[in-house]
Amino acid sequence: MTVKEKIILALDVSDAGYALELVDRFSESIAIFKVGLELFTTAGPSIVTDIQDRGHKVFLDLKFHDIPNTVTRAALAATRLGVHMFNVHTSGGYEAMKRCHDQVMELCLKENLQRPRMLGVTVLTSLAPETLKKEFGIQHTLRTHVKRLSVMAQEAGLDGVIASGHEVSMIRNRCRAGFLIITPGIRPSWYPPDDQQRTMTPRQAVREGADYLVVGRSILDQPDPLKALDLITVEILTAK
């Protein structure tokens, strides 16, 4: 996989025009753009088709978390939009993931649609290990929790999970070959963590074996975002 395919740029902006300007600016160096809650809520589904019409892939990062029927219907809508990837929260449970997987497969066969990659969000990279215990009363470790959720996502038929770089090798050991691992919380040494807790540099994350790196602020908040991407690209290319 080339670096162009490996880095997913998070379009965490609220203006559709600016988002498309960014897509055009990065069109030579990024293949997958992430549309998340902020952009989708302000710009609506047309932002997805606008990006796709420019020849790029979209990761629709809306982290569906609801009862199985609602999650599945949202997943079918995402599939009809033609997104390359979308995600659901694994903590919504096995039934939501399984139904979502089965019905998306059925729809794609019936209507001859491109099958999106279905991913499960494990534990948000903004949560620290001690938070699980302190806030949610979960007694086992964060790593054990991510492992359980990843195995459950695999059993439900999902294509992969979203997890921090710190859990990548553990997931690799427990899940089938080809199970995708998408890693946010990416922080080059020159960018502060902000709200992210389980961070990793691009070089470390690639060494750990992440398939895709999701990068947002450390590129977009820079005075020269293309230069920031170049620096990250060099880190990745020299990671092995």
Burial 136-154 (b: 16+ CB within 10 A, else e): eeeeeebbebbbebbbbbb
Going along the chain, which residue ranges are E strands? Answer: 7-10, 32-35, 57-64, 85-89, 117-121, 160-162, 180-183, 212-215
CB closer to ligand C5P, 68 vs 185: 185
Nearest to 90 by CA among 182, 178, 154: 154
CA distances from 148 to 103, 142, 151, 206 (A): 24, 10, 5, 23
CB closer to ligand C5P, 79 vs 218: 218
Q: Which of 63, 133, 227, 240 is catalytic?
A: 63
Which residue's Cβ has the minimum distance to ligand C5P?
A: 216
Helix extents (H) in 62-174: 68-81, 94-111, 129-136, 142-155, 168-174
CB closer to ligand C5P, 69 vs 141: 141
**Minimal distance, residue 110 CB to ligand C5P, in Å:** 30
CB closer to ligand C5P, 69 vs 144: 144
**Minimal distance, residue 29 CB to ligand C5P, in Å:** 16
- Our answer to whether residue 63 is catalytic in this structure is yes
**Minimal distance, residue 128 CB to ligand C5P, in Å:** 13
Q: Which two tokens stand for residue 210?
A: 């992440």
**Minimal distance, residue 112 CB to ligand C5P, in Å:** 30
Rounded (5°) CA angle 81-184-210: 95
Burial (CB count <10 Å: 0-12, 13-18, 19+), residue 173: exposed
Other Cβ atoms less than 10 A from the Cβ of 39: the count is 24
CB closer to ligand C5P, 15 vs 103: 15
**Minimal distance, residue 152 CB to ligand C5P, in Å:** 16
Binding site for ligand C5P (CB under 6 A): 10, 12, 36, 61, 121, 124-125, 162, 184-186, 196, 214-218
What amino acid positions are annotated as catalytic residues?
63
